[in-house]
Amino acid sequence: MERVRDIENKERGFVDMTERLPKDYFDLAGGTSTGGLAALMMFRLGMNASQAIEQYKNLASKVFAPTIAGYEIHKLPLGYSLGNLWLWIKRLIKGASFSANRLESAIDTVLQLPELGLFRGTGSDLLCDPAKPSGMMLMCATVAEKGETVLFRSYELPADSRPQSETARKIRHDQITLKQACRATSAAPTYLPEMWIGDIGFWDGGLLNNNPVDQVWDARYDLPDARTAVDATTGAVTYIEPTVTCVVSIGTSYFPQLMEKAAPGEGRGGVGSLISTAIRAAAFATNTEAKHWDFMGNNIRRNARLPDAEQHTRYFRYNAHASKQIDLDDYQAIGSLVKDTETYLDRFDRNLNADGKPMAAAELDMHINECARQLAKTTLEENTTAATAAATAATIAVLPEPIARA
């Protein structure tokens, strides 16, 4: 958003250093787990990116710090080793290393921030609250019993987007609270307890949609300009295909060596081969880059079939290379991720890709500056209508996936 601001200032000829709000530039956003929380903060609660980053750091340290009687073990000598041992014991006894209460308390703390203004409240507030108009966002969760994806939305559930299973149909989407949605999207098995809403159990949305780009893309039909039109005389229904000008997908980094470690061994059989196969299968199951390649290829085919260039969708994907493998609950590694991301952005400025090699033509098309130009509102007229959905086109954001899932 800083680059968007810089472009706007340059094009308009005057300086406005106000930090831009993502909800004013994207018509729809969605995410899973980490990305779901980010979507909530920036689109439902109206935070800017800096505020969301700061609050996520605070939330992660409160939720993932191992504690005994409320005291953080990491603060003790040898605290990291003792803390990991304690988490392992809790996982064996309780089935989850961390407390849902700490997450709920952290959510309440975030919601009490004075700077939220109109959106200040508690975790018991409704996710979809007509009294608090917000940006359109969704969070992915998994119905544990059926293995079905459910999307918790900050806007009214469209009539033609009802869940398919009998279990999921029982969900009262208009009654889902902020706390319930946050718990459901982030309930990673063995890390956080399963979230129960009524008699329905939910797990982390990342079990099915670690990279939820397809779910967010399909939700373009939820946009106001894509709603059905009904002929008053005949009752005939017309479905409107929305034009999406820009899709931005952001990852939380990936560790390339993880896939290399997962490469098949030369031999067959034996314990070593079994372990190698298990590691490889796990790496592929959680590989968010695979969804990226699929979506990019499908988007190229889609655009090629649309003769009008104004109907084309620009797709941008940003996912830094991690310098080391990071565990899902290692909140202390955020500093390392920040450095890796800064390196990634510095390479962009030198027209280098994530591997440090000169960008090919296709990579230049996805340059972060090109993305900022697509989003920037370079006239005063555009700026005054920034918070409204575009009349003929929309922009979509897919926010960071769960950390450390390749």
Q: State the alpha helices, DSSP H only, in 23-172.
A: 34-39, 49-64, 79-94, 100-111, 166-169
Q: Which residues on neighbouring strands pair with residue 260, listed in sequence order?
A: none
Give the single-character DSSP code of 98.
Answer: S
Reading the chain (406 residues) residue by residue, the pLDDT tens digits are: 999 999 999 988 889 999 999 999 999 999 999 899 999 999 999 999 999 999 998 888 888 776 666 666 666 555 556 666 656 676 677 767 778 888 899 999 999 998 888 889 999 999 999 888 889 999 999 998 888 899 999 998 887 777 777 888 889 999 999 999 999 999 988 888 899 999 999 999 888 888 999 999 999 999 987 777 777 788 777 777 888 999 999 988 877 655 555 555 555 556 555 555 555 555 555 668 889 999 999 999 999 999 888 889 999 999 888 888 777 767 777 888 889 989 988 988 898 887 888 988 888 888 888 899 999 986 444 443 333 333 335 777 887 655 443 3
Helix (H, G, I), strand (E, B) or coil at 258: helix
CATH architecture of 2-254+287-398: 3-Layer(aba) Sandwich (3.40)
Using DSSP bridges, classify how beta strands 200-204 and 195-197 pair: parallel, antiparallel or unpaired.
antiparallel
Residue 366 token pair: 């996805």
Q: Are 240 and 254 in contact (CB under 8 A)?
A: no
Residue that is written with structure tokens 């098309």 in the block:
365
Instruction: Give buried/exposed letters for 366-385 (b at 16+ CB in 10 A, else e).
Output: beeeebbebbbbeeeeebee
Query: SS3 string of 125-150?
Result: CECCCCCCCCCCEEEEEEECCCCEEE
- What residue spans define the domains of the chain? 2-254+287-398
CA neighbor of 405 nearest in space, from 29, 151, 34:
34
List Cβ neighbours of 176 (8 Å cut-off, separation of 6 or more): 126, 127, 128, 152, 197
- Residue 35 has a CB neighbour count (10 Å cut-off) of 31
Phi-psi domain of 17 (left: phi exceeds 0; alpha: psi -120 through 50; beta: other):
alpha
CA neighbor of 146 nearest in space, from 217, 208, 212:
208
Maximum separation of any 2 CA atoms in the chain, in Å? 76
No. of H helices and E strands in the chain? 15, 12
Residue 360, φ and ψ in degrees, nearest 5? -80, 170
Phi-psi domain of 56 (left: phi exceeds 0; alpha: psi -120 through 50; beta: other):
alpha
* pTM, 2 dp: 0.83
Residue that is written with structure tokens 């009752």 in the block:
235
Give the distance, in angstroms, between the CA of residue 178 and the centroid of all CA atoms in the same chain.
16
List Cβ neighbours of 69 (8 Å cut-off, separation of 6 or more): none
**For the purposes of burial, counting CB atoms within 10 Å of the CB of 129, is it exposed (0-12), middle (13-18) or buried (19 or more)?**
middle
290-345 pLDDT, tens per residue?
899 999 999 999 999 998 888 899 999 998 888 887 777 677 778 888 899 899 88
Q: For residues 97 and 193, give the distance between their C-alpha atoms in angstroms, rounded to a whole number.
A: 8
